[in-house]
Amino acid sequence: MSDLKLIILGNGAAVPTSYQNPTSQLLVYKGKQFMIDCGEGTQMQMIKFKIRHRKLNHIFISHMHGDHYYGLIGLLSTFHLYGREEPLTISAPAALEGIIKLQLEAAKMTLKYKLIFQYLEEMGETPLCEDDSYTINAFTLKHSVPSWGFVFREKPRLRRIRKLFIEEKKLIPEQIINIKQGNDFVDSNGISYLNSEITESPRESSSYAYCSDTAYSESVIEHIRGVDLLYHESTFDNAMEKIAIEKKHSTAAHAAMIAEKSNAKKLLLGHFSARFSNLNILLDEAKVIFPNTVLSKEGLTYII
Amino acid sequence: MSDLKLIILGNGAAVPTSYQNPTSQLLVYKGKQFMIDCGEGTQMQMIKFKIRHRKLNHIFISHMHGDHYYGLIGLLSTFHLYGREEPLTISAPAALEGIIKLQLEAAKMTLKYKLIFQYLEEMGETPLCEDDSYTINAFTLKHSVPSWGFVFREKPRLRRIRKLFIEEKKLIPEQIINIKQGNDFVDSNGISYLNSEITESPRESSSYAYCSDTAYSESVIEHIRGVDLLYHESTFDNAMEKIAIEKKHSTAAHAAMIAEKSNAKKLLLGHFSARFSNLNILLDEAKVIFPNTVLSKEGLTYII
């Protein structure tokens, strides 16, 4: 099973409704939490869905429209009031730092933890963070204000050694890593084992891409190629394509075309306009183009 | 029946819980809506409680702690997206204007309606707005940042003419107003009627005061004397009085003492710390001092 999962906290567009919160989602990987966007009420959604934030050390803000970040200052204040001490990194447009600092100043609040701002810049794909097992990069979208998408890619995984062999040969950690990396093994009696005899192929690496807010833009394809799951905004339906183009948003069909052309495995629609009380029209329009499409739902977890 | 009512949208302290939102309330008077404070999620609370905002033309922000204003920018954005054109006045500490303007700039959003900022200042009781029938004034509270309370007072009402007399004499509007103001009446036959014969005493004027956030402070008494309803913060219980004093908040007993000393008719407790899952301890401690006390409840309307 994959180590990567996505929790949708909010998937509405600019105006909230009784059934839709502004955008926020949590990517969870091996005990780490990465938040993407943080619309108003995100901290309440976390309470509602019983999600703790102890492992949240990095927040990504896609752009400076309020439905993607108005909840951030509240979340930061709550972290402070709960005594957080771990540093928190925020990858965001540069303008966000001034806004957050002004609000902290006005409240005479000196955070108990360090806030590290990493500015998003308008260039090609930019690495934001990584460790031994994953990378998260940003790439530019096409919206009415500068906007960024994010792509999470798990690094190639190591080969899997057969459990019985580990026990039989009483392998020590160094030997295990060596074999996992694809090397053959010679035991204490000098008997040699081919790596292919004692290991299995690694599980495929997982990947996820987030594109919101954006107009239909084929320039994102090179950055998200082949991802296991693509979350792409679909604010409007086909009948409103003209408005989508004018407002630099996408229709569900646009999202599906991007999923199709980038060879994504699965498409998750989101950022729904408040005017759709029934989202099936969006789902149907996307499925015509890209059958493996689902509607995102707040509170649901998607295993990637 | 009174024309004045109060709707509680949020009554929690700094940290939201599954059952408490940050502070916000709506005072409704003769079709006008006045919002006092606007914590994160206020617009969602309005949706939840099915409250329209068409008559909301004035918002009062008590101080610059986020649990009292983080929801404002989202509400302003939603007004814009719904095409609001009526000007909106915001009475608030001066620092708020810069924060709101910076956020609008970052979103490249030029509001379709006019935003009028009225700065709260640290002086005695200051009139903020009024018309023929009411006044709303601000007065200073005692908190860790400058903080203001608000008092709504209905002006003395006019006398009530007996309905039958209006019909019988076919009174025209000018005559009605004249009589309501206390004057006697002479009909077309020259017959004179004493005002006391044809009118009844006016209904008593209504009044409401809001004190949050504040430490126990007797200096507020002169501003809120005799109000029909006093909303006073009661963040802590008696056992936490030391913390209340240190953090410049009040206990429920403090709130009750202020209600008692100011001769308020009724006390509404609010701004409850997230640590109390059962608020009855606060209610009980207040009632010992001021029996006509109730706990505020989100979504409830209080007729004043």
Q: Is 70 exceeded by the pLDDT of residue A292?
A: yes
Q: Is 70 exceeded by the pLDDT of residue A195?
A: yes
Q: Are residues A73 and A150 in the same domain?
A: yes
Q: Does B177 touch chain A (CB under 8 A)?
A: no
Structure tokens at B131: 């018309």
Query: Is residue A9 within 8 Å of A297, Cβ to Cβ?
Result: no
Exposed e or buried b per residue across B196-205, where buried means at least 16 C-beta atoms within 10 angstroms of its C-beta: eebbeeeeeb
Rounded to whole angstroms, how far apart are CA atoms B206 and A140? 57
Omega into B213 within 30° of 0, i.e. cis? yes
Element at B209 (helix H, strand E): strand B207-211
Q: Are residues B110 and B239 in the same domain?
A: yes
Nearest CB partner across the interface for A74, out of B43, B47, B66:
B66
Q: Are residues A69 and A177 in the same domain?
A: no
pLDDT at B277: 87
Query: What is the ipTM score, two decimals?
Result: 0.91
pLDDT at A57: 95
Mean pLDDT in residue range A170-198: 93
Please list every residue in chain B whose beta carbon sits closer than 8 Å to the beta carbon of residue A77.
14, 66-67, 70
Mean pLDDT in residue range A178-196: 93
Decide which of A177, A200, A223 is a domain's last residue.
A200
Please list every residue in chain B whose beta carbon sits closer than 8 Å to the beta carbon of residue A96.
106
pLDDT at A242: 98
pLDDT at B54: 87
Q: Which of A13-17, A260-264, A279-283, B291-295 has the lowest mean pLDDT?
A: A13-17
Provide the pLDDT confidence category of residue A203 given band limits of 50, 70 and 90: confident
Rounded to whole angstroms, how far apart are CA atoms B78 and B74? 6
Nearest chain A Cα distance for residue B260, angstroms: 31
Phi, psi of B287 (to 5 degrees): -65, -30
pLDDT at B1: 58
Residue B67 falls in the annotated catalytic set: yes
Mean pLDDT in residue range A265-280: 96
Catalytic pick among A3, A37, A67, A237: A67
Please list every residue in chain A whose beta carbon sits closer than 8 Å to the beta carbon of residue B247.
none
Q: What is the DSSP code string of A172-208?
A: -HHHHHHHHTT--EE-TT--EE-HHHHEEPPPPPPEE
Structure tokens at B299: 């979504």
Q: Is 70 exceeded by the pLDDT of residue B153?
A: yes
Q: At residue B289, what is the residue type?
A: I
Q: Are residues A76 and A108 in the same domain?
A: yes
> Three-class SS string for A48-112?
HCCCCCCCEEEEECCECCHHHCCCHHHHHHHHHHCCCCCCEEEEECCHHHHHHHHHHHHCCCCCC
pLDDT in tens, B80-123: 999 999 999 999 999 999 999 999 999 999 999 999 999 999 88
Q: At residue A202, what is the residue type?
A: P
Which domain range does residue A91 map to? 4-157+203-303
pLDDT at A117: 98
Catalytic pick among B3, B37, B67, B237: B67
Q: At residue B290, what is the residue type?
A: F
Share of chain B above pLDDT 70, in %: 100
Q: Are residues B152 and B33 in the same domain?
A: yes
Query: Is residue A37 within 8 Å of A60, Cβ to Cβ?
Result: yes
Mean pLDDT in residue range A233-244: 97
Q: Is 90 exceeded by the pLDDT of residue A162?
A: no
Rounded to whole angstroms, how far apart are CA atoms A105 and A84? 19
Q: Are residues B46 and B181 in the same domain?
A: no
Average pLDDT, chain A: 96
Mean pLDDT in residue range B258-268: 98
Provide the pLDDT confidence category of residue A1 given band limits of 50, 70 and 90: low
Q: Are residues B223 and B264 in the same domain?
A: yes
Omega into A187 within 30° of 0, i.e. cis? no
pLDDT in tens, A33-63: 999 999 999 999 999 999 999 899 999 999 9
Q: Are residues B224 and B297 in the same domain?
A: yes
Nearest chain A Cα distance for residue B185, angstroms: 56
Q: Are residues A106 and A232 in the same domain?
A: yes
pLDDT at B122: 82
Domain total of chain B? 2
Provide the pLDDT confidence category of residue A175 given band limits of 50, 70 and 90: very high
**Cα nearest neighbour of A109 on chain B:** B65
pLDDT in tens, B62-72: 999 999 999 99
Q: Are residues A108 and A185 in the same domain?
A: no
Q: Does B16 touch chain A (CB under 8 A)?
A: yes
Q: Given CA atoms B47, B52, B57, B59 in this order, what sign does their dihedral have? A: negative
Q: Taking CA B282 as the corner, what is the angle to CA B277 and CA B286, rounded to the nearest 5 degrees?
A: 165
Rg (CA), chain A: 22
Q: Are residues A297 and A175 in the same domain?
A: no
Q: Are the beta carbons of B40 and A15 separated by less than 8 Å?
A: no
Rounded to whole angstroms, how far apart are CA atoms B44 and B50? 10
Q: Are the beta carbons of B77 and A48 separated by less than 8 Å?
A: no
Nearest chain B Cα distance for residue A181, angstroms: 48
Q: Are residues B195 and B253 in the same domain?
A: no
Q: Is 70 exceeded by the pLDDT of residue B179?
A: yes
Provide the pLDDT confidence category of residue A2 given band limits of 50, 70 and 90: confident
Decide which of B172, B200, B228 is a domain's last residue.
B200
For residue B92, give the CATH number of its domain: 3.60.15.10
**Cα nearest neighbour of B77 on chain A:** A66
pLDDT at B203: 87
Please list every residue in chain A whose beta carbon sits closer than 8 Å to the beta carbon of residue B95.
102, 105-106
Decide which of A176, A200, A224 is a domain's last residue.
A200
pLDDT at A122: 82
Average pLDDT, chain B: 96
Nearest CB partner across the interface for B103, out of A14, A99, A105:
A99
